[in-house]
Amino acid sequence: MMISTHQLSLSAGQRQLVKDLDWQVREGECWSIIGRNGAGKSTLMRALAGLRPPEAGHVSLNGRPLAEWPLEELARQRAFLAQSRSDAFSYSVIETVLSARHPYHGNRYWEDSDDHAIAIKSLEAMEVAELKSRDVRTLSGGERQRVAIAAMLAQDTPLLLLDEPANALDLAHQVSVMSILARLCREQGKTAVMIGHDLTLAHSVSTHALLLKGDGRWLAGTREDVMQADLLGDYLGHPIEAIQHGKRTIFIPKEDTQ
């Protein structure tokens, strides 16, 4: 078991978001967390990363509660991509990605050649290697997102937690980034848990899905069992239609007949 939750409950003020979540994610699986705005997706993701204490229950990584993990050791096991970020300092792109190698430095401060090689390879995978000398504050939103994902790849952890990885990306890069994540799970045995709003894209790369209703209710299972039009429509608050196009399943909202 890569990561699991045990009777996990999360709230926002007086509103129950998630109640008694018993959920298991195994090595090599690629999960999508799906729900309408305010359903608790980002709150859950932060709890999975160990950045937000739950109201009840706990999260375990490799069978060990998150609270028992030293921070440096935890940083070698899971990487977290936040939904938004701010760049307060004038770091270059390569410096930003190299910072993700810090958990492996031990008592040394400076990066070595292996760190640089990993950073460049990650930038190349995100097609931003030519920007390595640029100040991150001068990048477009999509370029900055790809640099952030490159840093996550450079951290080289078995578990990837991503809050809207396709955010600010153009169509081509949405597809390429999600394909890379799916390939990491399929070929390298990494585990990915991601939040996204594009149901068709999520269905194309995910092996499993977790639906959040936003009132405590949830549903978890394989992609085939959970990503069904009627279930998605119920959890998203609008009727969904699923259309088969070759091997692909395309989800579209039904027209409002009122």
20 shares a domain with 5? yes
Angle between helix 113-125 and helix 141-155 axes, rounded to 10 deg: 130
DSSP 77: T
Domain range for 162? 1-77+158-227
Strands of 3-77 (E only): list them. Answer: 3-12, 15-25, 30-34, 56-61, 64-65
Give the C-alpha separation, 76 to 56, whole Å.
Answer: 26
173 shares a domain with 55? yes
Give the C-alpha separation, 173 to 190, whole Å.
Answer: 21
Whether the CB-CB separation of 87 and 137 falls below 8 Å is answered with: yes
Give the C-alpha separation, 258 to 78, whole Å.
Answer: 46
DSSP 96: H
Confidence at residue 108, expressed as pLDDT on a 0 to 100 scale: 67
pTM beyond 0.75, yes or no: yes
Count how many domains the chain has: 2
112 shares a domain with 47? no
199 shares a domain with 162? yes
Whether the CB-CB separation of 182 and 163 falls below 8 Å is answered with: no
Q: Which helix (H) or strand (E) holds 162?
A: strand 159-163
196 shares a domain with 101? no
211 shares a domain with 165? yes
185 shares a domain with 150? no
204 shares a domain with 92? no
73 shares a domain with 5? yes
Residue 222's CB: how many other CB atoms inside 10 A?
A: 12
Confidence at residue 169, expressed as pLDDT on a 0 to 100 scale: 94
Confidence at residue 109, expressed as pLDDT on a 0 to 100 scale: 63
Residue 140 lies in a domain: yes
164 shares a domain with 152? no
69 shares a domain with 19? yes
Mean pLDDT by 10 residues, the chain (258 residues): 97 95 97 96 97 96 95 95 82 94 78 89 96 95 94 97 94 94 94 95 96 97 97 95 93 80
Show which of 141, 156, 171 is a domain's final residue.
Answer: 156
Show which of 106, 127, 156 is a domain's final residue.
Answer: 156
Confidence at residue 257, expressed as pLDDT on a 0 to 100 scale: 55
Confidence at residue 145, expressed as pLDDT on a 0 to 100 scale: 94
Confidence at residue 112, expressed as pLDDT on a 0 to 100 scale: 77
Confidence at residue 110, expressed as pLDDT on a 0 to 100 scale: 65
